[in-house]
């Protein structure tokens, strides 16, 4: 028996300097940036040839490169080069341009972890709204732990018989937070995701810069794919575990580690899912983000270095399907919505 496999999906992106949006880049510079993208995908991405063979992908890149015959701005190049990411079928993969006003602070869920998960009571039903699993790093996990323990203390005090956990608008963060929720609604062992992780010097340098030291990854040969099998996760001993009926609500905006949470719940038959399928993202997917800046245009390239395979395996349909399909509550009328769920 293994203790919990903590699979944090760390969204750690380096700062990117603003790109001069009107500057024109020579075709030779654009081709070098496209070649840089190719090397990064082929050497660092978890599984770049899941859809195209290497030979086909090389020809695809060659055709894109042949089309770069005139000077382009970074924004125009981004539109063309983004096509290089399509064969990955990696929902996290992106090529982005920093806007001139990017210095303005944008609200981030990770900046207010204590408010990302909240609780209300509706009659004999408790409602947990998990807006995000976002973190600024592992230091935020104890904050989530305390918050979730406080919520389940209220659940116990209220004596509710049913519990709805809403991740319909949750765009992910640290999957360890979802595991905390599972720990408080399920007292048995369950199967985790399996994972494939390609060894690369580029990502090793990132890990080192972040202060991580994974000897197994470090000692593997470049290009080697490390495999972590699905494990039996042993439930912990939280202060209080809910034993009534549980349902998880998903929706079009459920993404990343929120999908992983819902998938673990569904594949292990912990609780039924209600709502709508996510518009983007899949149960088996690429995650743990890597980012790098293109040498000439300054665009930021992002993609996953780990491939997460759902507990049900690759044979299962790679789409999160609710057990009870239904439209999300219109206008946020949770009380009426709860009454019509098939408890």
Can you give the pLDDT at residue 137?
75
Beta strand 117-122 pairing with 273-275? unpaired
Helix (H, G, I), strand (E, B) or coil at 155: helix
Rounded to two decimals, what is the model's pTM?
0.83
Can you give the pLDDT at residue 106?
47
Can you give the pLDDT at residue 190?
97
**Which listed CATH number (3.40.50.300, 3.30.2130.10, 3.30.750.44, 3.40.50.150) goes with 20-97+195-215+283-307?**
3.30.750.44
pLDDT one-digit tens code per residue, 324-343: 999 998 877 899 999 999 99
Cα angle: 323, vertex 10, 305; to 5 degrees: 85
pLDDT one-digit tens code per residue, 198-215: 999 999 998 888 788 889
Domain ranges, ordered by start, for the chain: 20-97+195-215+283-307, 111-193+230-281
Q: In the chain, which stretches have pLDDT less than 70?
A: 1-21, 99-111
Query: Do residues 270 and 182 make contact, with C-beta atoms less than 8 angstroms apart?
Result: yes
Can you give the pLDDT at residue 223?
92
Query: Do residues 311 and 233 make contact, with C-beta atoms less than 8 angstroms apart?
Result: no
Task: Please name the fold of domain 111-193+230-281.
Answer: 2-enoyl-CoA Hydratase; Chain A, domain 1 (3.90.226)
């Amino acid at each position: 028996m293994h203790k919990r496999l903590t699979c944090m999906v760390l969204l750690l992106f380096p700062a990117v300097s603003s790109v001069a949006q009107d500057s024109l880049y020579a075709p030779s510079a654009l081709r070098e940036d496209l070649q840089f993208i190719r090397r990064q995908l082929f050497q660092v991405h978890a599984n770049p040839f899941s859809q195209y063979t290497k030979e086909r992908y090389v020809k695809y890149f060659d055709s894109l490169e042949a089309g770069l015959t005139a000077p382009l701005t970074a924004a125009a190049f981004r539109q063309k080069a983004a096509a290089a990411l399509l064969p990955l079928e990696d929902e996290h993969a992106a090529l982005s341009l920093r806007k001139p006003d990017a210095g303005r602070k944008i609200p981030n869920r990770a900046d207010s972890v204590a408010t990302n998960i909240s609780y209300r009571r509706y009659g004999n039903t408790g409602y947990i709204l998990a807006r995000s699993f976002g973190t600024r790093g592992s230091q935020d996990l104890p904050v989530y732990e305390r918050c979730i323990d406080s919520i389940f203390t209220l659940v116990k005090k209220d004596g509710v018989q049913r519990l709805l956990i809403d991740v319909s608008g949750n765009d992910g963060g640290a999957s360890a937070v979802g595991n905390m929720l599972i720990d408080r609604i399920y007292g048995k062992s369950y199967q985790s995701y399996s994972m494939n992780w390609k060894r690369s010097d580029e990502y090793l340098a990132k890990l080192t810069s972040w202060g991580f030291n994974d000897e197994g990854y470090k000692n593997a040969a470049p290009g080697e794919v490390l495999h972590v099998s699905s494990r039996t996760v042993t439930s912990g001993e939280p202060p209080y575990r809910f034993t009534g009926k549980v349902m998880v609500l998903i929706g079009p905006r459920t993404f990343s580690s929120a999908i992983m949470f819902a998938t673990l719940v569904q594949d292990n038959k912990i609780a039924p899912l209600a709502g709508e399928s996510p518009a983007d993202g899949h149960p088996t997917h690429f995650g743990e983000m890597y980012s790098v800046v293109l040498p000439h245009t300054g665009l930021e390239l992002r993609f996953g270095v780990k491939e997460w395979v759902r507990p049900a395996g690759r044979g299962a349909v790679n789409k999160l399907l609710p057990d009870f399909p239904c439209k999300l509550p219109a206008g946020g009328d949770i009380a009426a919505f709860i009454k019509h769920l098939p408890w």
